[in-house]
Amino acid sequence: MATSEVILEETPYLNLTTKGRRTSLSRTVELWFAFEDGKLYFLAHENSDWWKNVKKTPRVEIEVGEILFEGSGSLAQEKLDYVFDLFRRKYGDDQVNRWYGGQRSNRRVVSVDLGRVLGKRPSEKMRPIELAA
């Protein structure tokens, strides 16, 4: 298994960057997710802007740990029950019930096909120190 896949399976949340559907500005949101067979799955509230941005502009960037991926997102509402099961396996019944409760019908399923790795962000320890003049 590739290092990036291990990170995706073990990390509890990631940052998803979309292009704003009205402003065209980059918008980043921290999200819980499930990963399976090269795809990321998310459960969005029906009023969340980020899934509406993905619907208009499918290209996204995903930052998990220090790794930055590109991806292509789409709505996958037909997988609602399956994605809830993936979330339960990853986070446990209690946590999923706390986060999502009985509001299943208010959730949108977003699937992101991962593309290539765009790079690796430098860790805080590796960034150069700026000295005062």
Q: Domain limits of the chain?
A: 3-126
Q: So what's the pLDDT on residue 112?
A: 98
Q: So what's the pLDDT on residue 129?
A: 42
Top-level class of domain 3-126: mainly beta
pTM above 0.95, yes or no: no
Considering only residues 112 and 4, tell me which one the structure prediction assigns the higher pLDDT: 112
pLDDT band at 104 (very low <50, low <70, confident <90, very high): low
DSSP structure string for 51-116: HHHHHH--EEEEEETTEEEEEEEEE-GGGHHHHHHHHHHHH-HHHHHHHHTT-GGGEEEEEEEEEE
**Residue 56, number of CB atoms within 10 A of its CB:** 12
- pLDDT, one tens digit per residue, over 33-85 is 999 998 999 999 989 999 999 999 999 999 998 889 999 999 999 999 999 99
Q: How far apart are CA 78 and CA 118, in angstroms?
A: 30
